[in-house]
Amino acid sequence: MAVGDYPFPEMPAIAGVAIGVAAAGIKKPGRNDVLLFALADKGCAAGVFTKNAFCAAPVTICREHLGAEKTRYLVINSGNANACTGEQGRVDALTVCSAVATAGGAQTAQVLPFSTGVIGEPLPVGKIEAVIPALFDSLQESNWEAAARAIMTTDTRPKGATRQVDIEGVTVTVNGISKGAGMINPNMATMLGFIATDAAVEQAALQGIVREAAGLSFNRITIDGDTSTNDACVIMASAEAGNPVISDTRSAAFESLKQAVTEVCTELAQMIVADGEGATKFVTVDVTGGASHDECLKVAYAVAHSPLIKTALFASDPNWGRIVAAIGYAGVEDLDPTTVTVHLNDVLIVKNGGRASSYTEAQGQAVMSGDRIGIYIDLGRGDCRELLWTTDLSYEYVRINADYRT
Amino acid sequence: MAVGDYPFPEMPAIAGVAIGVAAAGIKKPGRNDVLLFALADKGCAAGVFTKNAFCAAPVTICREHLGAEKTRYLVINSGNANACTGEQGRVDALTVCSAVATAGGAQTAQVLPFSTGVIGEPLPVGKIEAVIPALFDSLQESNWEAAARAIMTTDTRPKGATRQVDIEGVTVTVNGISKGAGMINPNMATMLGFIATDAAVEQAALQGIVREAAGLSFNRITIDGDTSTNDACVIMASAEAGNPVISDTRSAAFESLKQAVTEVCTELAQMIVADGEGATKFVTVDVTGGASHDECLKVAYAVAHSPLIKTALFASDPNWGRIVAAIGYAGVEDLDPTTVTVHLNDVLIVKNGGRASSYTEAQGQAVMSGDRIGIYIDLGRGDCRELLWTTDLSYEYVRINADYRT
């Protein structure tokens, strides 16, 4: 189940970013489940990672390696998260890095490891090591769809997005792939995003771009409120496009590249929501009129996480009372119900603390019957605004998550 | 669907608290859906109410009436919550109070109104007024089971509990009924609780008792994280038992009565969880070793609200990785994963940041196959403790909440 139709786009090759895939048999035999990115020597990488205190071994190692050496390789496996695996998990992830480094003629700290899948099972290091030659043999700059497929877990479709932008007379390309599905919540969910560009960017500027872009995209989506131990969004810049190196974060070139990366990340984030586990609706929760960003977010999360609202969305039931109840318990101090308005798409449903007099059930039903629903809440007490994207809660969500390990 | 077996107990009459029920046809024809408590003249009442900013008209009126006059009557309807009904909702609730007051020879402010059911629909005042004579005609001190049935919404069974306690040589009785099911979360959910005792208690002391008892019982349960607009727990004390009036909140008599009320409320709260919408498991989340109560609660709620954990519970899947992930994203500052231990009942599953070496899947499976599961989390960084009761997330929960209005 998934909302809408997102065919995988035509993605141009990015010079200086080669991709290899292989089937290590971690989850199912014959399915590509290991992915290798090889980044040109003169390139660099930057990333943002989960804030989960139980972050997985590969996340810790990514942070360390990004700070220590210029990144040359990213190695990603699906099927096993190498999370909550203690000291052995760290040893295992480093073993994989070391094997990739050896095969690629690099230092271990030039390799970033990523894992997604079941938590708490030992990483099958031997299986991954065994396919490293195949990964290197299959390196190609055109392998984007294969890459997107190799990182899928409960995703029903591969996710990719691409943009081109002119930077000081040079055409620069930005590609991205992601995986998501369950355990999706801001601050990086069981979400992996890999972005690549051929632009020349200094590492500090690249870090600024990925932080801002992720904040406006991946950190705005929530499916079940669970923030995973493994989330990561990494960007690679190969410096092959020939643009003057971007280093000034106040420059037009920086803004242009950031905009393109944000668009790619937003598209990928929305694809993750649309392909959320069991999703039948794509829901935008847009809260305006707040006295602070914090209170807007509180309301947006209360609405986006309410199982009662999510089941009503699944049922296409314009049960606006549940929306109002969620606004009421979100924890906004001294909220005056009479200043709050709520629209479902363009239909005014709540005003003056109750149902809008103009509202009819038929109007609400018409909105809810669609698969793209906007819940627009104005708190009427300030100028702040926050926005989230989420899904409904269906039988299928329960089935997927009740069956995941079986 | 519901966990365990809770036959309605034998509940003794409480002298000075009479109960009438009637079928007003609010939801289904022929089913009792209106309830009247009539409290002896010398008695008093006290209560705690939802903190939802969109609290329903009856909640606002209860607060006002409790502060203004000695309570004589409680009138409760199921099937319609009279919530988010604006100024008309207030007029409607007061109209019902006034009609009860007229029939009972009291002031309007001596009547407390309660409503539970669908949000946002106008209260069918005429239907309720029409059965007021029947409510008064049926007043009996023995009507407890009928009362418990009259307030049910999606509950599958009536909920009642009773205790007797000796207070200064006098046997005092405490009875309670409740309704719950969905939209259950601390600070009073779509939860109504009515407690009655024949003890003589001053109103201020009675308020202290209900606040403390609710804090240890109804405010410890969470099914879906949604706090309703209508929650209320009210206690009536008829002063018919003949005990010396309890006024000193440091007295042994106060403690004894509070203990009995807390036990009744705890039993009722646990019955609400066991009868949670679609519940197949009764789950205790017990967090110890916190540096503060606040961080213990954060962890307990993160675990109790995680849809991934709740679906794993439904599947009887010992997916402890999801528990660890929830602890990790709960927002405990500087949490050191290596000090955290997690038990499922008496089975140690997590230690030193990973799966306990002694743990076997068979052990976890044995615990999860039962319908009473304890998740015991020790943060290993202090002496604070907090505890919640919750349920799993099943297909049935989705079905009930997707169909509620149809």
Answer yes or no: do A227 and B324 touch at CB < 8 A.
no
CA distance B222 to B305: 8
- Residue B144: is its pLDDT beyond 70? yes
Q: CB within 8 A of B401, min separation 6: which ones?
A: A307, A308, A311, A312, A315, B182, B277
pLDDT of residue A397: 75
**Option in A307, A328, A406 nearest B229 (CB):** A328
Looking at chain B, which residue has its C-alpha nearest residue A226?
Answer: B306
Q: Which two tokens stand for residue A93?
A: 């992830």
Answer yes or no: do A354 and B88 touch at CB < 8 A.
yes
Q: Are residues A382 and A291 in the same domain?
A: yes
DSSP A219: G
pLDDT of residue B126: 98
Predicted confidence band of residue B127 (pLDDT cuts 50, 70, 90):
very high
Looking at chain B, which residue has its C-alpha nearest residue A184?
Answer: B308
ipTM: 0.73
**Option in A311, A312, A401 nearest B312 (CB):** A401
Query: Which value, in Å, is the radius of gyration of the alpha carbons in chain A?
Result: 22
CA distance A341 to A349: 8
CA distance B13 to B174: 10
Binding residue per annotation — B311? no
Answer yes or no: do B350 and A84 touch at CB < 8 A.
yes
Q: Tell me: the pLDDT tens digits for B147-193?
A: 999 999 888 899 999 999 999 999 999 999 999 865 444 333 478 99
Q: Is residue A324 part of a domain?
A: yes
* Chain B CB within 8 Å of residue A185 CB: yes
Distance from CA of A158 to the nearest CA of B (A): 23
Question: Count of domains in chain B?
Answer: 2
Cβ pair A352, A260 in contact under 8 A: no
Span of A125-139, B222-236, B351-365 with lowest mean pLDDT = B222-236
- For A204, the domain range is 17-274
Cβ pair A92, A81 in contact under 8 A: no
Neighboring chain A residues of B335 at a CB cutoff of 8 Å: 53
Amino acid at the residue A1 = M
Q: Are residues A260 and A294 in the same domain?
A: no
Binding residue per annotation — B406? yes
Neighboring chain B residues of A87 at a CB cutoff of 8 Å: 354
CA proximity to B4, closest of B380, B394, B371: B371
Binding residue per annotation — B277? yes
Q: Are residues B192 and B295 in the same domain?
A: no
Q: Are residues A45 and A74 in the same domain?
A: yes
Return averaged pLDDT per consecutive 10 residues of chain A, 406 residues in all.
84 98 92 97 94 87 94 95 88 98 98 90 96 98 97 90 97 96 47 96 97 91 66 96 96 97 95 84 95 94 88 84 87 91 94 87 90 95 94 80 60
- Residue B209: is its pLDDT beyond 50? yes
Binding residue per annotation — A406? yes
Q: Is residue B12 part of a domain?
A: no
Q: Is residue B352 part of a domain?
A: yes
Q: Are residues B330 and B393 in the same domain?
A: yes
Q: Tell me: the pLDDT tens digits for B79-116?
A: 898 988 888 999 999 999 999 999 999 999 999 999 99
Q: Are residues B71 and B195 in the same domain?
A: yes
Q: Are residues A222 and A182 in the same domain?
A: yes
Interface test with B, best of A308, A313, A338, A341 (most B CBs within 10 A): A308
Q: Is residue A2 part of a domain?
A: no
Q: Are residues B182 and B296 in the same domain?
A: no
Q: In what order do the strands lie in the sheet with A73-80?
A: A17-22, A34-39, A73-80, A111-118
Amino acid at the residue B307 = P
pLDDT of residue B118: 80
Distance from CA of B124 to the nearest CA of A (A): 16
Q: Is residue B90 part of a domain?
A: yes
Q: Which helix (H) or strand (E) holds B209?
A: helix B203-215
* Chain B CB within 8 Å of residue A228 CB: yes
pLDDT of residue A229: 75
Q: Is residue B1 part of a domain?
A: no
Q: Are residues A169 and A25 in the same domain?
A: yes
Binding residue per annotation — A179? yes
Q: Is residue A11 part of a domain?
A: no
Cβ pair A209, A278 in contact under 8 A: no
Answer yes or no: do B308 and A335 touch at CB < 8 A.
no
Cβ pair B226, B184 in contact under 8 A: yes
**Option in A81, A327, A398 nearest B54 (CB):** A327
Looking at chain B, which residue has its C-alpha nearest residue A329?
Answer: B52
Which member of B50, B190, B266, B390 is catalytic? B190
- Choose the final residue of a domain: B221, B246, B274: B274
Binding residue per annotation — B202? no
- Residue B325: is its pLDDT beyond 60? yes
CATH of the domain at A381: 3.10.20.340
Distance from CA of A82 to the nearest CA of B (A): 10
Q: Which helix (H) or strand (E) holds B337?
A: none
- Residue B210: is its pLDDT beyond 60? yes
Residues 336-395 of chain B with CB under 8 A from chain A are: 336-337, 350, 352-355, 393-395
CA distance A305 to A388: 11
Residues 164-183 of chain B with CB under 8 A from chain A are: 182-183
Q: Are residues A157 and A110 in the same domain?
A: yes
Q: What Cα–Cα distance (Å) separates residue B185 from each residue in A329, B180, B223, B335? A: 10, 10, 6, 26
**Option in A54, A325, A335 nearest B324 (CB):** A54
CA distance B381 to B384: 9
**Option in A54, A306, A321 nearest B325 (CB):** A54
- Choose the final residue of a domain: B274, B299, B330: B274
**Option in B84, B119, B403 nearest A353 (CB):** B84
CATH of the domain at B242: 3.60.70.12
Per-residue DSSP letters for A282-319? EEEEEEEEESSHHHHHHHHHHHHH-HHHHHHHHTT---
CA distance B403 to B304: 24
Q: Are residues A39 and A109 in the same domain?
A: yes
- Choose the final residue of a domain: A220, A247, A274: A274
Q: Are residues A243 and A355 in the same domain?
A: no
Residues 281-310 of chain B with CB under 8 A from chain A are: 305-308
Looking at chain A, which residue has its C-alpha nearest residue B89?
Answer: A354
Answer yes or no: do B324 and A84 touch at CB < 8 A.
yes
Interface test with B, best of A280, A379, A398 (most B CBs within 10 A): A398
Determine phi and psi for B260, rounding to 5 degrees. -65, -40
HSE-CB for A274 with a 13 A CA cutoff: 17
Distance from CA of A44 to the nearest CA of B (A): 30
Rounded percentage of chain B residues whose pLDDT exceeds 70:
95
Q: Which two tokens stand for residue B165?
A: 């306690």
Neighboring chain A residues of B53 at a CB cutoff of 8 Å: 327-329, 332, 335-337
HSE-CB for A211 with a 13 A CA cutoff: 7
Q: Is residue B4 part of a domain?
A: no
Q: Tell me: the pLDDT tens digits for A159-190?
A: 999 999 999 999 999 999 999 865 444 333 46
* Chain A CB within 8 Å of residue B405 CB: yes
